[in-house]
Amino acid sequence: MARLRAWILPACSVVWLGGAAAGAKLLWDHQTTPGAPGSPPRLWPAASRLERTPGRATLLLMAHPRCPCTRATVAELASLVERLEPRPRIYVLLFKPREFPAGWERTDVWTAASRIPGVTVWTDEDGELAARFGAATSGQVVLYGADGRLQFSGGITSARGHRGPSAGAERIVALAKESAAEATTSRVFGCSLIARDAE
Amino acid sequence: MSAFQALGDAGAPVATRADFSADDREQRIAARADALFRERREHGLRRLDRVFPLLMLGQWVFAILVAVLFSPYGWTGKVKAVHLHVYVAVFVGAAITALPLALSRLRPGWAGTRHVMAASQMLWSALLIHLSGGRIETHFHVFGSLAFLSFYYDWAVLVTATVVVAADHVVRQFTWPESVYGVVNPEWWRFLEHAFWVVFENAFLILACVTGLRDLKTAARQQARVEVLAESDELKTLALEMALDEAGR
């Protein structure tokens, strides 16, 4: 028993140090690994079901309604919208597999997005619209200018599921204000939107 | 010391001996005050060493609940899998709690124990901030934890906690600044702005630690004085009674 007691502290020390280091590495990798980048068309697709108001920019957010990381994206969208002047037309497209029951996509992400003034939330059946706009990762934002040209493609969070300022949001604000930014892309952090059949 | 220990070999009253000189009395008060202070300090440290693991066990349960309720699954299109946060909350949370729990049982009152508590508490802050998606409100956990740690009345413990927090920020600044500051190229001194608020709180907590220890010493000295004076009075009374007995024979 005494021998066992002598081993408890060294063993716990190893578990403590190892656990903290392994946990930090796991979370770090998870947080900082971006999803697949989007490949949106350079011009607003003419065949799109989404309406574009002539003379006004259009911003799309394509997201998975049940991706935990997307809550941060929607929260950042709410902050971003307040900073955009002139305000573009904004759509949030939430992915839903066709065979899943109606209302599956009506999660807290849907509710939070619906509460943002001036935002239209749509169900994106089987991710058709996401595919048309080249989105592969939940949280993908695209901004089309008033002339229908692509201005920005990327994410608006700085890490996976992490709130706070981000390079993507800053670039969108700069584009809206000055029609120019240091870059027109940013990394996207979120779950994959690519529909795979259940295994 | 009992009253009988103050009697001479022949049982003669000793109230007039040098035992009751002012210098000797002050020495006895100082020795007793030191013993009382050490006893109370040790008791306080041991009690806190038992409380912090309970706090960490509570945080562990809370972290698991946060992970299960807010990020139960990660998705790939229509396929879901248990989210990394759930595994991290269960296993990393257990690892962070293991050493404080063991130390509280095996080495309560030891200086190293409270430094491990401080480092672990800051690791818990980091874990909870991650699990909550970097919510600014969760950052208050750092400040609350520093306040709890100050109950040890040991400013060095606050330094350990601050070093752990600062190390996290410095590493992030140089490897992934966006995750802390939201910009790709922050100024090199940016971490100092965040550190300032921790130092701001620490300044007051360190002052509270120093004052708390001083109050503890003052209370111990006051009690020691009362005890020694009461003992002296008891001896004097006893000596007087014995003298009266002698005179009555």
pLDDT averaged over every residue in chain B: 87
Its ipTM equals 0.83
Domain co-membership, A111 together with A150: yes
Q: B74 lies in a domain?
A: yes
Q: Examine the pLDDT at A199 and tell me if it is beyond 50.
A: no
Two tokens, residue B84: 């990394």
How many A×B Cβ pairs under 8 Å?
132
Mean pLDDT, to the nearest integer, of B183-193? 73
Q: Report the pLDDT value the prediction gives residue B5, as an integer from 0 to 100.
A: 46
Q: Report the pLDDT value the prediction gives residue A15, as an integer from 0 to 100.
A: 92
Q: Report the pLDDT value the prediction gives residue B133, as an integer from 0 to 100.
A: 77
Judging contacts by C-beta atoms under 8 Å, the chain A residues touching residue B167 are none
Domain co-membership, A7 together with A93: no
pLDDT band at residue B209 using 50, 70 and 90 as cut-offs: very high
Judging contacts by C-beta atoms under 8 Å, the chain B residues touching residue A31 are 130, 179
Q: A150 lies in a domain?
A: yes
State the Cα–Cα distance between residues B21 and A130, nearest whole angstrom.
Answer: 93
With a pLDDT cut of 70, the percent of chain A lying above it is: 96
Tell me: the pLDDT tens digits for A40-84? 999 998 877 888 888 899 999 999 999 999 999 999 999 999 999
Q: What is the pTM of this model?
A: 0.81
Does the beta-carbon distance from A16 to B99 stay under 8 Å? yes
More confident: A135 or A176: A135
Q: B248 lies in a domain?
A: no
Q: Examine the pLDDT at B1 and tell me if it is beyond 60.
A: no
Inform me whether the C-beta atom of residue A47 falls under 8 Å from chain B C-beta atoms: no
**CB B169, CB B124: distance < 8 Å:** no
Taking an 8 Å Cβ-Cβ cutoff, which residues of chain B contact chain A? Answer: 70-80, 83-85, 88, 91-92, 94-96, 98-99, 101-103, 106-107, 116, 120, 123, 126-127, 130, 133-136, 176, 178-179, 181-184
Q: A157 lies in a domain?
A: yes
With a pLDDT cut of 90, the percent of chain A lying above it is: 70
State the Cα–Cα distance between residues A4 and B158, nearest whole angstrom.
Answer: 33
Q: Report the pLDDT value the prediction gives residue B82, as an integer from 0 to 100.
A: 96
The total number of structural domains in chain A stands at 2
Domain co-membership, A87 together with A17: no
List, edge to edge, every strand of the sheet that includes A89-96: A119-125, A89-96, A58-63, A140-144, A150-154
Buried b (16+ CB within 10 A) or exposed e, B201-224: bbeebbeebeebeeebbeebbebb
Q: Report the pLDDT value the prediction gives residue B184, as an integer from 0 to 100.
A: 63
Domain co-membership, A97 together with A141: yes
Q: B88 lies in a domain?
A: yes
More confident: A48 or A123: A123
Mean pLDDT, to the nearest integer, of A131-153? 95
The total number of structural domains in chain B stands at 1
Does the beta-carbon distance from B179 to A15 stay under 8 Å? no
Judging contacts by C-beta atoms under 8 Å, the chain A residues touching residue B74 are 67-68, 191
Domain co-membership, A27 together with A117: no
Q: Report the pLDDT value the prediction gives residue B179, as an integer from 0 to 100.
A: 64
Q: B188 lies in a domain?
A: yes
Q: Report the pLDDT value the prediction gives residue A127, as an integer from 0 to 100.
A: 93
What's the domain range around A72? 58-185
Output the domain CATH number for residue A71. 3.40.30.10
Q: B183 lies in a domain?
A: yes
Q: Examine the pLDDT at B165 and tell me if it is beyond 50.
A: yes
What's the domain range around B215? 30-225
Tell me: the pLDDT tens digits for B66-105? 999 999 999 999 999 999 999 999 999 999 999 999 999 9
Q: Report the pLDDT value the prediction gives residue B19, as an integer from 0 to 100.
A: 53
If you write DSSP's letter for every residue of B61-130 in order, what string do you get? HHHHHHHHHH--EEEETTEEEE-HHHHIIIIIHHHHHHHHHHHHHHSTT-HHHHHHHHHHHHHHHHHHHH
